[in-house]
Structure 1
Amino acid sequence: MSTCDCGRAESNKFARLFIDIALALVKESEFEGKIALRQAIRMYGGTIGRMRKEFMINAGQKTNLKHAFDDGWGIPCTRDGAVREWIEKSEEQLFVNILECPFARVWNEEDAELGHAFCEEFYPAYIKAASNEKAQINLGKTLTNEGDEFCRISCYLRRTNMSQDENAVCFPDCDPAFIEKEWEDSPMDDAARCAVLKECFRHILESAGLRGTAYNIASDSETR
């Protein structure tokens, strides 16, 4: 079991941006707004996941679970103000407890249900896009759920569920041509998260014809 120690300098811009859009959307459009909200979160998770997968492939690495949550990708890093406890971090299994989350702190003060919706939709979309659609994700606990004292994210990428070609993309020992080489990761920071989130909300809200306050926030050139 290990913890990340990459430094701590909390940033809540992303959390604030998400909850501002979510609150405005649900207030103005109620049920239709909740549907659009979840669609936008899934789109955001998939977009970030594909970005991670593309980065790993370009770096000559395999797209398994081992590095899916590194350096601010997928979950907030300690430099964002998170406290994470790694239970297992391998190619096929990824178990992590998030003891403190800067996003949850903001969302619980405003509307924990909307924050919980983010966690429910984002993690499956992200992990599947970053690794393989056959990956499995379980959110056993979340800090946005009343009574839970930490988040528990469990991810599985089982070789037996995948084809030979899929395994070759994800696992070094399944690719006879794979050559291990040095590589350097690139962090996913708050500004990048905010830019992608706004783009996803604009796309979903335009498609749904919901051009109210939430759309205006997502279209604002200044990160809130």
Structure 2
Amino acid sequence: MKHREDLIAGRNAVIEALRAKKPIDKIFILDGCKDGPIRTIIREAKKTDAILKFVDKERLNHLTSEQHQGVVAMAAAYEYAEIQDMFDKAEEKGEAPFFILLDGIEDPHNLGAIIRTANLAGAHGVIIPKNRAAGLTPTVAKTSAGAIHYTPVAKVTNLARTMEELKEKGMWFVCADMDGEVMYDQNLTGSIGLVIGNEGTGVSRLVKEHCDFTASIPMKGDIDSLNASVAAGVLAFEIVRQRMKK
């Protein structure tokens, strides 16, 4: 088994990574293990956005061939940004903020492709949730084709609450939904957040309730939906088109 570059195995290695404030997405801990170093890891992890997952030894062995001592951390390949960084980027460009929010995109290839699209469409940043979603893995970085170095990606604990806070700053939200109004008939200008849902289940009910509009992409084929990253691209560039026209 090849050791993945984003994995940190071993108790001391994980403790030092946490104390050095290395961005970590998830920490897998052997279920039932409660000795001193493990308690230290749990305590340090709770000071961060890292997700703790308690798993069996087979899962840990599957993650890495290295001596893991009951703990494996999955590090982010790139530093996460703050949402304020996105507002600053929009202000520097003299543009109305344009963010892409992802409600549970789990495939790292899709996340990387969307970050690439966000960069090319002039979006000022991408917002992803902490739980049940892909993080900034090496696969994401590679698929983004370098866009990850230019487009800020922020990770938040609660996407719906974040949307409420952004609405207070004048943003409004449109989500991709097959039952929505055709995107060409909507005004997608101004300070906008484009919400793209999970590959299988789409935008969750709570997040959809926080959206101001739903937009559909007109389709003429025999199947009923686009890949999440393709849908993000189509809608993002309709926003680009409308901004250029305005």
TM-score range, shorter chain: under 0.3
The two structures have a TM-score, normalised by structure 1, of 0.27
Q: Which has the higher strand share?
A: 2
> Which structure has the bigger radius of gyration?
2
Could you say which structure has the greater relative contact order, defined with CA pairs below 8 angstroms and 6 or more residues apart?
1
TM-score scaled by length of structure 2:
0.25
Instruction: Give 1 or 2: higher helix fraction.
Output: 1
